[in-house]
Amino acid sequence: MESLFLQQVLNGLIVGSVYSLIAIGLTMIFGVMKIANFAHGDFSMLGAYFALYATALMTGLLGWVGSMVVAAIGVGIIGYFVERYLFRPLLSRWTDIDIIMLSIGLFIVLENLAQLIFGATPKMITDPFHSESVNLFFFSTSVIRLLSFLFAIISIALLQVFLTRTKMGVAIRATSQNSNASLLMGVNINFIYSLTFMVGSALAGLGGVLYGTIFAIFPTMGAMPTLKAFAITILGGMGSIRGAIFGGFILGVAETLGGNYVSMEYKNSIGFVIVILVLLIIPQGLFGKKET
Amino acid sequence: MTILQGVNISKTFGGLCAVDNVSFELKADEILGLIGPNGAGKTTLINLISGFHSPDNGKILFREQDLTGLKPSTVNKKGISRTFQIIRIFPKLTALDNVKSALVDRKTRNALRVAFDSLKKSEKNLATGQKGDLKAGELLDFVGLYDYRYELAENLPYAYCKRLEISRSLATQPEVLLLDEPSSGLNPKEQNDQISIIRKIHEQGIAILIIEHVMKVIMDISHRIMVLHYGKKIADGIPKEIYSNEKVVEAYLGGEAGAEH
Amino acid sequence: MNSRLVKYASIAVGIVALFVLPIIVRDRYFQHILVLSCIFVLLTSSWNLLAGYAGLLNLGHAAFYGIGAYSSALLAMNFNISPWLGLPIGGMVAAIFGILLGIPSLRLSGPYLVITTIGFSEIMRMVTMNWVSLTRGSLGLYGIPPLTPIKLSKNLSIEFISEQNAYYVILIIVILTLCLMRKLVRSEFGITLKSMREDEMGSESIGINTAQYKLAVFMISTFFAGLAGSFYAHYIRLVSPELLTLGETFAVLTMAMVGGLGTMSGPVVGAVLLTFLSEGLRFLAEIINIDIRLIIYGTMLMLTILFMRNGVVGLFAGLARYFYRKPGEKK
């Protein structure tokens, strides 16, 4: 019994790592540009489809890793155009109602365009390990899941290094805290906006590949990750990367345990319940700034 | 007669003590000036009185009623109005509508009641129709904005916006008016106009607590002045006394006497 | 005086035209689209009240639509309550849920409000899908009784199963609702909402209890969404959890934006336009075998926000101002 519980917790952590990856992208974009992008999950979806086609060309483990690179770069480029031509014109003009509605419009278009182009039937990325599983101590999981978990962790770690050790990363963090001050310090804000959005979207794309690896790939798969990413960022504090990491794992574990011990059908509501509870009790999230 | 009283009020934000054990009295027939260097806690005090913040300690009494911790809208309904340091008018509404909004009778009606009354002809509907236009027009005339009543507030020059905010705050028939730097950003002529308006308000029998940095204005119209510095009250008395008070001079100028602001 | 007369006359003519329309165009499918348009006008106007006038983005609107539909259907099927009563009751049940959602929403804004309302909507949808004993889950409820016929004399009664008669009912409801909303918006209540939308702190300082007013608008908005849902239930006579999907809310949202947010005529224009467009595209979809309706909706939404912020109505108002400005007046 105990090992079953632990098994579930570890399953939750694996799923949680992917959630974190996607949520980090969202919270970064929100922290720097104050854009709540409701199409974020669709970047994950696009990443998954890129990977699908990439793995058809390159097989095996290398193919899978390669597909992640392809997905990240591909989605990053799409992100550049979305930011430059859709969101940036709005930033100075309107209220955040407009930005939210725009991203909803984008979400509708991307989802249905994907349905049109890729077809509605769910697809799977071929597992380079052919569902081989691994047994570690008292729990077991498939190799590919374990690797997904590791890749997610590595990506998050690399991101942290980028944000703390590189000049561009520091500029991003500075802009997220005070864009005016950064501007005065010589930071090219437009460049930072593009960079942040690209990195954030690339992370979503990467997360999408892992998400698609663990679950399945279909055109409407973006909606759930979007909502869960928002739930995570609210839990962790909008704009806080640390919060997104913690929040992602918490949600992953909560969902898995909740799904197994409470009810399978309501598994996806757990995220929403958490959101509502958090907003009622600690509105700024676990690591967010309190609003004066 | 004391109409507004603050007793040992304190408020801390994070690590900063914005208001530190401040007590004050405002009499019904006076204009009380509130001065102090930037960051002294003056706006915070007004926020505490008007309900936008809750004091950590202390009480705020209005005519013996305890207002501490009440919501801003409730405080207003009891009879205290305020203006803001950075104006908070309604930009996309006309000057007339800005004032009419404040004329709506909310003291006796809640939101649903207002909604229901809107659907039928009710004497309670003071703000709409001719009655509302007349009353709002009078209030705008009081501050000299009658000719601009159909202008969108966002199109009015800054000085007029300041006056609009005052006009709007009078529409709720307050007994106490809290003015937060009504002259900031105004040129000398506009400041003089502002002084006359404030005097007119006082003549209506409204007690006034006014924050100002423009020494000319505050020395001119205040009956008494209170000085805050780093959240503490360091002086309280008539303008002449304050002007030559050592502690006050030191707080503002770091030691030199008498210079005009 | 003259322009007022013209205005009233044109409204009267318009209303008469709307009543006469189904007699002229006897095609049942066309009449069905008219009914759908009216339902969407109700949904879009009520959503616009919250979003355009009070500035609150409620993305759970479809949930209240569904709650109204299911409430009225269940009352009629299980307790033999007359569908005519079910209409306002469905609205009231929705309004009660509206207050439930409104209370936590008071402290929220922007994306937080959006996510909370989406969350609420999804939770309601999942409840509808999984509480099978009550709602029959994904199968939905069918065989819902229609609006009970009105007996005129021993042999003559008006039924409400036909599209045409149903249209008359919903048309009357819509006209009454729009009149009510218009009154509200132009009244003290309306000016309060506008003040809140402009500056919340400033509103509080003049005695507006913003929490109270937000709740009131939530109630009113969700009531009409529920009313629309109840009517739908007794018209289509089949309800399913599909009614509570985000897609329905997005459709309403698009109609409101494209028509013109924050105006009375905007939602009407948007709802009618997009309902007809949607049905027209359905034919196209069958011909070229691709359903591109949602893509078009989404694109229209984005284009509207980028280039035509005040919607169709705003566009025409701007053009009117441009052409009718007095000489020497600035643009």
Statement to judge: residues B91 and B10 lie in one domain: no
Statement to judge: residues B100 and B143 lie in one domain: yes
The yes-or-no verdict on residue B80 having pLDDT over 70 is yes
> Min CA distance, C26 vs chain A (Å)?
35
Residues of C with CB under 8 A from a CB of B: 180, 183-184, 186-192, 194-195, 198-199, 201-210, 212-213, 215-216, 219-220
**Residues 30-59 in C contacting A (C-alpha not used; CB under 8 Å):** 51, 55, 57
Q: Do C191 and B102 touch (CB under 8 A)?
A: no
Q: Do A112 and C116 touch (CB under 8 A)?
A: no
- Give A74 or A93, the one with higher predicted confidence: A74
- Give C155 or A208, the one with higher predicted confidence: A208
**Which residue ranges make up each domain of chain C?**
2-324
Question: A96-118 vs A223-236: helix axis angle to the nearest 10?
Answer: 150
- Give A189 or A162, the one with higher predicted confidence: A162
Q: Do C187 and B119 touch (CB under 8 A)?
A: yes
| Of the residues B133, B156, B172, the one at which a domain ends | B172
For residue B62, the SS3 value is strand
Q: Do C298 and A272 touch (CB under 8 A)?
A: no
Q: Do C55 and A97 touch (CB under 8 A)?
A: yes
Statement to judge: residues B251 and B123 lie in one domain: no
CATH of the domain at B148: 3.40.50.300
pLDDT-based confidence at B261, cuts 50/70/90? very low
Statement to judge: residues B10 and B45 lie in one domain: yes
pLDDT-based confidence at C53, cuts 50/70/90? confident
Q: Which two tokens stand for residue A117?
A: 């182009």
Q: Do B168 and C206 touch (CB under 8 A)?
A: yes
Q: What is the mean pLDDT of chain B?
A: 89
- Cross-strand pairs, A134: A141
CATH T-level topology, domain A2-281: ABC transporter involved in vitamin B12 uptake, BtuC (1.10.3470)
What is the rounded CA–CA span in Å between residue A41 and residue A38?
Answer: 7
**Which pLDDT belongs to residue B217?**
84
Phi, psi at A74, each rounded to 5°: -60, -50
pLDDT-based confidence at B254, cuts 50/70/90? low
Judged by a CB distance cut-off of 8 A, whether residue B97 touches chain C is yes
- Give A139 or B111, the one with higher predicted confidence: B111
**Which pLDDT belongs to residue A2?**
55
| Of the residues B150, B172, B194, the one at which a domain ends | B172
Statement to judge: residues B96 and B215 lie in one domain: no
**Which pLDDT belongs to residue C221?**
96
The yes-or-no verdict on residue B94 having pLDDT over 50 is yes
Q: Which two tokens stand for residue C48?
A: 């616009």
Which segment of A86-95, B151-160, B238-247, C200-209 scores lowest on mean pLDDT?
A: A86-95
Sort out which chain A residues have CB atoms less than 8 A from C301's CB and list them: 101-102, 104-105, 108
Interface pTM (ipTM) of the complex?
0.89
- The count of structural domains within chain B is 2
- Give A96 or C254, the one with higher predicted confidence: C254
Statement to judge: residues B144 and B187 lie in one domain: no
**Which pLDDT belongs to residue A289?**
64
Judged by a CB distance cut-off of 8 A, whether residue C290 touches chain A is yes
**Which residue ranges make up each domain of chain A?**
2-281
Closest to C33 measured CA to CA, from C167, C228, C158: C167
Of C51, C55, C299, the CB nearest to A109: C299
**Which pLDDT belongs to residue A290?**
52
**Which pLDDT belongs to residue C181?**
93
The yes-or-no verdict on residue B45 having pLDDT over 90 is yes
pLDDT-based confidence at C288, cuts 50/70/90? low
What is the rounded CA–CA span in Å between residue B60 and residue B37?
Answer: 24
Statement to judge: residues B70 and B106 lie in one domain: no
Q: Do B110 and C191 touch (CB under 8 A)?
A: no
Phi, psi at B210, each rounded to 5°: -125, 130
Please count the residues of chain A.
292
How far, rounded to the nearest angstrom, does the alpha carbon of residue B128 sit from its chain's CA centroid?
26
The yes-or-no verdict on residue A292 having pLDDT over 70 is no
**Which pLDDT belongs to residue A55?**
84
**Which pLDDT belongs to residue C256?**
95
Statement to judge: residues B195 and B236 lie in one domain: yes
> Min CA distance, C217 vs chain B (Å)?
9
Segment A131-187, tens digit of pLDDT = 777 776 667 777 888 888 888 999 999 998 988 888 888 888 888 777 677 777 777
pLDDT-based confidence at B44, cuts 50/70/90? very high
Q: Do C210 and B73 touch (CB under 8 A)?
A: yes
With contact defined as beta carbons under 8 Å apart, do C218 and B154 qualify? no
Judged by a CB distance cut-off of 8 A, whether residue C180 touches chain A is no
Q: Which two tokens stand for residue C96?
A: 């009660």
pLDDT-based confidence at A269, cuts 50/70/90? confident
With contact defined as beta carbons under 8 Å apart, do C38 and C167 qualify? yes
The yes-or-no verdict on residue A285 having pLDDT over 80 is no
**Which pLDDT belongs to residue C289?**
59
Segment A49-60, tens digit of pLDDT = 999 888 888 877
With contact defined as beta carbons under 8 Å apart, do A102 and A109 qualify? no
Beta strands in C218-284 (DSSP E): 238-239
What is the DSSP track for C122-185? HHHHHHHHH-HHHH-GGG-EE----PPPEE-SSS-EE-S-SHHHHHHHHHHHHHHHHHHHHHHH
Sort out which chain C residues have CB atoms less than 8 A from A234's CB and list them: 112, 115
Using CA coordinates, name the residue in chain C closest to B46: C205
Q: What is the mean pLDDT of chain A?
A: 84
Out of A271-285, B174-188, B214-228, give the one with best mean pLDDT: B174-188
Q: Give residue B242's domain range.
A: 1-79+174-261
How far, rounded to the nearest angstrom, does the alpha carbon of residue C265 sit from its chain's CA centroid?
12
The yes-or-no verdict on residue B55 having pLDDT over 90 is yes
Segment C20-37, tens digit of pLDDT = 888 888 888 889 999 999
The yes-or-no verdict on residue A209 having pLDDT over 60 is yes
Statement to judge: residues B168 and B179 lie in one domain: no
Sort out which chain B residues have CB atoms less than 8 A from C329's CB and list them: none
The yes-or-no verdict on residue B259 having pLDDT over 60 is no
Using CA coordinates, name the residue in chain C closest to A270: C123
Which segment of A273-287, C73-87, C210-224 scores lowest on mean pLDDT?
A: A273-287
Q: What is the mean pLDDT of chain C?
A: 88
Q: Do C191 and B101 touch (CB under 8 A)?
A: yes
Of A36, A109, A271, the CB nearest to C111: A36
Residues of A with CB under 8 A from a CB of C: 30, 36, 38, 86, 89-90, 94, 96-98, 100-102, 104-109, 111-113, 116, 223, 227, 230-231, 234, 238, 265-266, 268-269, 271-273, 275-276, 279-280, 283
Judged by a CB distance cut-off of 8 A, whether residue C110 touches chain A is yes
Statement to judge: residues B261 and B178 lie in one domain: yes
> Min CA distance, B220 vs chain C (Å)?
27
Judged by a CB distance cut-off of 8 A, whether residue B84 touches chain C is yes
Closest to A126 measured CA to CA, from A15, A12, A216, A206: A216
**Which pLDDT belongs to residue B101?**
94
- Give B240 or A97, the one with higher predicted confidence: B240
Chains that touch C (3 or more CB pairs under 8 A): A, B
**Which pLDDT belongs to residue C180?**
92
**Which pLDDT belongs to residue A138?**
66
Segment C183-207, tens digit of pLDDT = 898 889 999 999 998 899 999 999 9
Judged by a CB distance cut-off of 8 A, whether residue B92 touches chain C is yes
- Cross-strand pairs, A141: A134
Q: Do A108 and C294 touch (CB under 8 A)?
A: yes
